[in-house]
Structure 1
Amino acid sequence: MNNQDTQRRTGLTLPRPLQIAAWLTFAAAAQSSLAQTAGSANAAAPAAASSAATSSGTEHALPAVNVSASAEADSPLHLGIPVSTGALGSRSQLETPFSTTVVTGEDLADRQVNKLGDVFAGDASVTDNSNAYSAWATYITIRGLPVDWQNGFRIDGNPFISYGITMPYDNLERVELLKGAGGFMYGFAQPGGVVNYVTKKPDARPVTSFDFGYRMDGVLSQHADLSRRFGPDGMFGARINYTHEEGKTYNAGDINRNSVALALDGQLTRDLDVYANAIYQQSRSSGQTPAIYTGSYTATSLPATISGGTNLLGGTDQHLNTNLQLYTAGVRYQITPDWTFNTSASYSKSARDRNESTLTLLNQAGDYSDSRWNGDEGHQDIYWQGMFEGRLKTGPFTHQLALGASWQHQTNDYSSVSKYFTLGDGNLYQPNPWRYYSGSGLETYRASEITQKALFASDTIQLTNRWSILAGVRYTNYAQDSYNIDGSLASSYRQNGILTPTFALMYKLEPNTNLYASYVESLEQGAIVGSIYANGGALLRPLRSRQYEIGIKSEHERWSANAALFRIERAAAYANDQNVYVQDGNSIYEGIEAGGSVRLGRGWQVAGDVMLLDTWYAKGQAYNGQRVAGAPQFVAAARVTYDVPFVAGLQVGADAKYTGNTEVRPAGNLETGGYMLVNIGANYMTRLGGHDVTLRAAIDNLTNRRYWMYQYSDYIGPGDPRTVSLNARIDF
């Protein structure tokens, strides 16, 4: 069998530069292993650790913050961990005057998460709208607002298009979530929030681990994690993570995914660090669970629920094939003890080949009309940012400054011959009789281009030991063009000098407790009006939203807690009585969220989170006063873990999340109904043959609860069924 045949069977064809870098990493690891055998590692490790400490604050040094599992257990909200806050620079959650959540890689592994909604299962502000193994796998709402799939996702702070892309969570150090409007921090994005995936970076200590997993109904996975430092005094670092999963999914579909993440760094001098990262992922899946459209549904209650594990709704003719590539390079220079300069550039490319049904629900008996969409889509993002961070004093005041600039160019390509057609009628409780098989590689055209050029500045002024204020502003020049299939310009929008400010007042009740009040604005891209409206093809101006928040964060040795009271005013767009798609009015989101965690005795860890949310359409909306679609009024989550005292290394845990009634459509006459999901799991750490071994087991949706899940305005889907996951990891 030749090399091309091997690549075709595995579904993974790495770009030549990434192949070379991967081989170099393994070669460096082998060299380091030989050096350890010879007894030289003991000298290199302290030097590497010292070098990492000297360059603290760089991306590649961040994993060293999580010094031990026990430290993470005592600090379950991770408020002291530095998080990326865009134009604010790097600061801890405790010092960030906005609501944030951090989920560590160990927690992801313990719970064996499989989609983005699972990542934030313990956060009541986040609602899962997703099915695994489908184009909806990253759909979540935050405080009732969707995350912008074009602008709301980042990898190590670099933008990429997330639609249809499920990240390999094995390759991540942690996942960060900035809730609400992020216009000042990151530029244009819907005000739901920003998800930042932080990949694993070279560690000061050698890492060699392999794990093997199983997920119902027959998905097998393998993952390798290898990290080494090499060169004089360990000045160079390399880490590679490789994940493969393949098998039969719970809805009788198939998955074949390969993903590799490579991270390189060089601590060239005491003050100068460089780094380069690359991600390549290729995924092929079939047997998609269709979305169910309720726009033509006239009943005021949904049909009887069905299991998300059913294969009645579709067959293996429906598929989703995706490809993700991200390449990043950066430099960090310590100008003085108080000032640093960071600059980085990234290129991301994502592609989708979709063949999927949408079932238009007709009546309460579950009858539907099956419409199929088949097409290819692609996106590219080129991004650059440079930023100075530092401190200075003016009289009695200390200033923490961040000054920078960024440039981003995004392109969207869509199929010129995509198909959308009706196959026929069916019923939710009977096998779908319709099949339409298709290939890939459809011709695409450049549908739109978006360019953002920005300058930003922020100043956090320390007024006293307790009081500080923050002021920041982003200045953006924005350009958006859309094109016809023949390449001619269809519409264009230009606006220079767009300002998105932020302000905050902070008061430290004690060193580890921060009280804050903040204000921030955001802008989201203007919509290209669809052809079904009277002004079809028009390009609307960007929408501005505003967020007000008062919150508190407190971190202690055995307990931590946070709470926030918020109001978000999101500008709205809708079709008026003349079927003209207009921008008018607001959607209002007001609520309170609160959570905390406490360690009881030597073995118990108890955590809880709750959100109360009130929403309505206002000021010119066609649905004035109605609850906003997709925004549950009440969500509560809880988690308990217990270190079993008579079995050293064994921890068991359970978590539950209740999601209240959620409006499916803006008319306010159809709800999903409330539902509670319960998950359990256990992990056992031991030593076999002189190596650390971790065994994990998890059962999601323990009671096999059937429920309708809100996906998007007017769309629902069946929730995921009970699934069992097993994993074994060995560290060398």
Structure 2
Amino acid sequence: MTSPQHSPGRRGVGCRASGAMTVPQRFLHADTIMLTLRFSLLAGVSLAAALCAATVARAADPAAQGQVGADGATVMPGVTVESAPPADGSAAAGYRVGTVDVGPLGNRSVQDTPFSITTVPAALIQATQASSMADVVKYDSSAQIEPRGDLDFGRPQTRGFENAVTQNTRIDGLNSYTIMAYPIEAYDSVQILNGAAGGLYGASSPGGVFNFIPKRPTDTPLRLVTIGYDSLGLFTEHADAGGRAGSDGQFGYRINALHGAGTSYVDHSSQQRNLLSGDFDLRLGDATTLSFNGSYYDDNESGLPAAFVYGAPGYATQLPAPPNPAKVGYGIPGAGQTEQQGIGTLKLEHEFSPGWKLTLGGLYERADRTMNPTAGAPADPFLALTNNNGNYNAYVSDTGLRTQVFSNLGYLNGHVETGSLEHDVFLGSNGYQQTMYTRVGTAAPVKIGSASIADPTQFFWTTPNTGSFYKSAYTGQQALVAGDTIKITEQWSLLLAGSGSWLSSRSYSNKGAVTAHYDAFGFSPTGSLIFKPVSNVTTYLTYADALQQGDTLNTTTGTTVLPPYHSTDLELGGKMTVHQSLDLSMAVFDMRRPWSYLNTAGTVSSGGQQRNIGVETGIKGKVTDSLTVFGGFTWLDPLLTDTGNAATSDKLVVSVPRYQANLYVEYALPSVAGLILDMNIHYTGQRAANATNTTWAAGYATLDLGARYEMAALGTRLTWRAGIENVTNTRYWAAILAPNQQGVLPTSLSTSYAAFMGTPLTAHASLTVSF
């Protein structure tokens, strides 16, 4: 059982230039002298910037710069002011994104796309100082993270359905490994498509599609340097540079480098993050672009609060109230999460003529989690509750994994007319091959001590994980996709799409023998009827059928890999733009997936179902020139039926709330140019904490407050940012990891539930210089 700690990304005080990216910040714990030196540096830079600003203001004064005419009046040069629409996704646009990349559909208008889509753009990532997947996912009220290691390394999902490991997550449209830490500093935006999308992307879970868009080369020079500090001790330094070179700007580049190290919000904890990424493109004429993206990232976290494990026979049956995560003793110094990942993508885009485009791409990725085969690395810690009084045993377990992914895509998009009908057609293919490696001789969890929630004890772990790895699993998928959006009239359109997917799966013993396998083919159709009563309103009815790779179950006769199954999604939605500044959306959906389980004989049975029905709403944009909102509310009824056990049938799915909401509000003070105040309120309702629904994780609400101030000084832009996360210091369970198969009662410590604590009150500050 792995029980990683929760280490969500931080919001902080940041500085950014207008239209440029600010970087999320964390903390560095140092001794008193180092803290004094660094605070002095920040204070010195701030004072120098203020003096520079005063100088610039004086230099810009008309009386100081203007010419004096014969009549003694100051004559100023003429100024021409042109009004341009704000950039898509910018703060000036209220973080509204009008166009998104919908895989094989190509670039589409969000309003006219018959799916529920949330995009967290670069400007909002800057404004909130997001640095992890957990920071970003909360802005979609239908999304949650299922922890794997901790929330930073978790598996994102929407509408309460668990995502597949590689089918549902993409980097620039290419399949990527889900369960890893994504450094948000390397990405320009995150696009989340809620619901089933198998008809567009090939076989996938109904839990949504998460597409991470890398930062792109900039047409104008970009130079950003950010220094950030967290209240208890982590400093982060980040540089972001972009531009173009060559006689006609044929070569573009965007480079990001980041280093952060120190102690987090708990004494004796440790975190170190290092990132180097580069995105380059070459314009091969007016119609062809070749682009390459490469990145390396390592994230090492130890000593943060471990997960509390419960529910197995002989262990606690009830989830206790969450303790104070900042109290020493719930983490195990020397044990935690470690990841090293390298990613490279190559993409060719060619426009044959207006309306016709070819896109070809490939990705290679290697991710090593919680291990280093040559030098050793931290092991996963967890605290197993031995009774309902809060007593626990502290364990560490060895769960080293290595994952390699090769993925590909090729799409042809075009526009044709047949009589009175207009067609936007696509034809293409995408897929991946994923190989998993497991450490040879993986040991059982090691008990290192006992304590209680009321009186935790600080245990330490110094034994590194070492050992070679063997190929333990392989999954492959290739899909042929095709579709047509038919514009019948100005009001009516029809989207028809489908994918045929070839699936393969293999499991291996450490001797190389195949222990389970299957090869299969399946078809996933999607159809949408779109109606636009007026130009700023779109309604749609969508039906999607999504093929997904089968589950893997441990039976009395060994490991069984189940054949693929089909999920369905029936959705009625509407989108409206108000005064070209505010987007409103609503979707009502009924989603279902088959469910298989182990019966009392220890063999596989089918016939069960997970049925999630719900309503989700969204609001994004400018309410007034000074007031921006970005949020949503979701009601969900996630029910598991026909599980083969009366105790778990017709029960709510573990860790999925019925109610969830998030609202980010930003206000620019008209009386103080450059000063912006922000607030984020997040609410998650009560969640089932076990399959029988006999213990619960209480609902919670958190409040974050922040401010940023921007100014110009001697040709640079300076932005200070200050923020407090979880102002009320609310204690809460951020997420619960259920056993591999929902609805199955735990039989051992390795198949029990694991609850992860949320972040306590923390304060942040940062300064960004753009030059």
| TM bracket, shorter-chain basis | 0.7 to 0.9
The Cα of 1:130 is off from its aligned counterpart by: 5.5
Q: What's the counterpart of residue 352 of structure 2?
A: 335
Question: Does 2:198 correspond to 1:183?
Answer: yes
**Of 558, 561, 586, the match for 1:539:** 561
Question: Does 2:443 correspond to 1:403?
Answer: no
Give the Cα separation in 1 of the matches to 2:518 and 2:154. Answer: 29
The Cα of 1:576 is off from its aligned counterpart by: 2.1
Question: Does 2:161 correspond to 1:145?
Answer: yes
Give the Cα separation in 2 of the matches to 1:416 and 1:676. Answer: 44
**Of 279, 300, 306, the match for 1:290:** 306
Equivalent position SS for 1:501: strand
Q: What's the counterpart of residue 488 of structure 1?
A: 513
What do the CA deviations read for 1:573-603 (whole angstroms, capped 9, x no partner)? Answer: 3332223344431110000011224634432
**Of 53, 58, 72, the match for 2:90:** 72
Give the Cα separation in 2 of the matches to 1:208 and 1:705. Answer: 38
Q: In the alignment, is the contact (CA less than 8 A) between 2:667 and 2:677 conserved in 1?
A: yes
Question: Does 2:348 correspond to 1:324?
Answer: no
Change in 2 beyond 3 A, CA 1:458/1:173: same
Summarize the alignment of residues 56-455 of structure 1 with structure 2, pairs less than 5 Å apart. Answer: 68=86, 72-73=90-91, 75-76=93-94, 78-81=96-99, 83-127=100-144, 134=150, 136-163=152-179, 165-252=180-267, 253-296=269-312, 301-352=318-369, 353=371, 355-423=379-447, 424-432=449-457, 434-455=459-480
Q: In the alignment, is the contact (CA less than 8 A) between 1:109 and 1:170 conserved in 2?
A: no
Q: What's the counterpart of residue 573 of structure 2?
A: 551
Give the Cα separation in 1 of the matches to 2:304 and 2:235. Answer: 19
Give the Cα separation in 2 of the matches to 1:187 and 1:126. Answer: 21
**Of 548, 562, 585, the match for 2:585:** 562
Change in 2 beyond 3 A, CA 1:183/1:501: same
The Cα of 1:292 is off from its aligned counterpart by: 1.9
Change in 2 beyond 3 A, CA 1:516/1:579: same
What do the CA deviations read for 1:211-264 (whole angstroms, capped 9, x no partner)? Answer: 111123211111111112111211111111111111111133111111111111
The Cα of 1:182 is off from its aligned counterpart by: 2.4
Q: What's the counterpart of residue 718 of structure 1?
A: 757
The Cα of 1:139 is off from its aligned counterpart by: 4.1
Equivalent position SS for 1:138: strand
Equivalent position SS for 1:332: strand
Q: What's the counterpart of residue 616 of structure 1?
A: 639
Q: What's the counterpart of residue 470 of structure 1?
A: 495
Q: In the alignment, is the contact (CA less than 8 A) between 2:201 and 2:479 conserved in 1?
A: no
Residue type of the alignment partner of 1:151: Q
Give the Cα separation in 1 of the matches to 2:512 and 2:89. Answer: 57
Give the Cα separation in 2 of the matches to 1:515 and 1:313. Answer: 50
Question: Does 2:551 correspond to 1:520?
Answer: no
What do the CA deviations read for 1:153-192 (whole angstroms, capped 9, x no partner)? Answer: 22111222232x3222222211111112222233333221
Change in 2 beyond 3 A, CA 1:385/1:219: same
Give the Cα separation in 1 of the matches to 2:295 and 2:88. Answer: 30
Q: In the alignment, is the contact (CA less than 8 A) between 2:131 and 2:185 conserved in 1?
A: no
- Compute the TM-score of the two structures, normalised by the length of structure 1: 0.86
Unaligned 5+ runs, structure 1: 1-65
Change in 2 beyond 3 A, CA 1:652/1:340: same
The Cα of 1:551 is off from its aligned counterpart by: 0.6
Identity %: 27
What do the CA deviations read for 1:343-368 (whole angstroms, capped 9, x no partner)? Answer: 11111111112501232223222112
Q: In the alignment, is the contact (CA less than 8 A) between 1:127 and 1:659 conserved in 2?
A: no
Unaligned 5+ runs, structure 2: 1-83, 372-377, 739-752
Q: What's the counterpart of residue 36 of structure 1?
A: none
Q: What's the counterpart of residue 45 of structure 1?
A: none
Q: In the alignment, is the contact (CA less than 8 A) between 1:213 and 1:726 conserved in 2?
A: yes
Q: In the alignment, is the contact (CA less than 8 A) between 1:259 and 1:282 conserved in 2?
A: yes
Equivalent position SS for 2:651: coil
Question: Does 2:670 correspond to 1:645?
Answer: yes
Change in 2 beyond 3 A, CA 1:141/1:384: closer
Give the Cα separation in 2 of the matches to 1:581 and 1:245. Answer: 48
Q: What's the counterpart of residue 699 of structure 2?
A: 674
Give the greater-gyration-radius structure (CA): 2
Residue type of the alignment partner of 2:200: M
Change in 2 beyond 3 A, CA 1:362/1:260: same
Q: In the alignment, is the contact (CA less than 8 A) between 1:399 and 1:459 conserved in 2?
A: yes
What do the CA deviations read for 1:662-697 (whole angstroms, capped 9, x no partner)? Answer: 011221111101111111111111012321111111
Alignment: residue pair count = 661
What do the CA deviations read for 1:41-94 (whole angstroms, capped 9, x no partner)? Answer: xxxxxxxxxxxxxxxxxxxxxxxxx9746973464462413x232232221322
The Cα of 1:290 is off from its aligned counterpart by: 1.9
Q: In the alignment, is the contact (CA less than 8 A) between 1:115 and 1:138 conserved in 2?
A: no
Change in 2 beyond 3 A, CA 1:110/1:382: same
Q: Which structure has more RCO (C-alpha within 8 Å, separation ≥ 6)?
A: 2
- How big is the alpha-carbon RMSD for the aligned residues of Structure 1 and Structure 2? 2.2
Change in 2 beyond 3 A, CA 1:621/1:93: farther
Q: What's the counterpart of residue 588 of structure 1?
A: 611
Residue type of the alignment partner of 2:762: T
Equivalent position SS for 1:72: coil
Give the Cα separation in 1 of the matches to 2:419 and 2:664. Answer: 48
Q: In the alignment, is the contact (CA less than 8 A) between 1:534 and 1:581 conserved in 2?
A: no
Q: In the alignment, is the contact (CA less than 8 A) between 1:586 and 1:621 conserved in 2?
A: no
The Cα of 1:699 is off from its aligned counterpart by: 1.2
Q: What's the counterpart of residue 55 of structure 2?
A: none
Give the Cα separation in 2 of the matches to 1:635 and 1:610. Answer: 6
Q: In the alignment, is the contact (CA less than 8 A) between 2:217 and 2:280 conserved in 1?
A: yes
Equivalent position SS for 1:555: strand
The Cα of 1:440 is off from its aligned counterpart by: 4.1
**Of 491, 501, 525, the match for 1:501:** 525
Equivalent position SS for 1:419: coil
Give the Cα separation in 2 of the matches to 1:382 and 1:86. Answer: 17
Q: What's the counterpart of residue 374 of structure 2?
A: none
Q: In the alignment, is the contact (CA less than 8 A) between 2:95 and 2:123 conserved in 1?
A: no
Equivalent position SS for 1:312: coil
Equivalent position SS for 1:529: strand
Change in 2 beyond 3 A, CA 1:75/1:549: farther
Q: What's the counterpart of residue 25 of structure 2?
A: none
Change in 2 beyond 3 A, CA 1:400/1:130: same
Change in 2 beyond 3 A, CA 1:366/1:114: farther
Q: In the alignment, is the contact (CA less than 8 A) between 1:529 and 1:535 conserved in 2?
A: no
Give the Cα separation in 2 of the matches to 1:105 and 1:285. Answer: 26
Equivalent position SS for 1:705: coil
- Compute the TM-score of the two structures, normalised by the length of structure 2: 0.82
Q: In the alignment, is the contact (CA less than 8 A) between 2:202 and 2:481 conserved in 1?
A: no
Give the Cα separation in 1 of the matches to 2:711 and 2:674. Answer: 6
Give the Cα separation in 2 of the matches to 1:407 and 1:169. Answer: 24
Query: Which stretch of structure 1 is more off in the superposition, 635-644 or 423-432?
Result: 423-432
Q: What's the counterpart of residue 27 of structure 2?
A: none
Q: What's the counterpart of residue 655 of structure 1?
A: 680
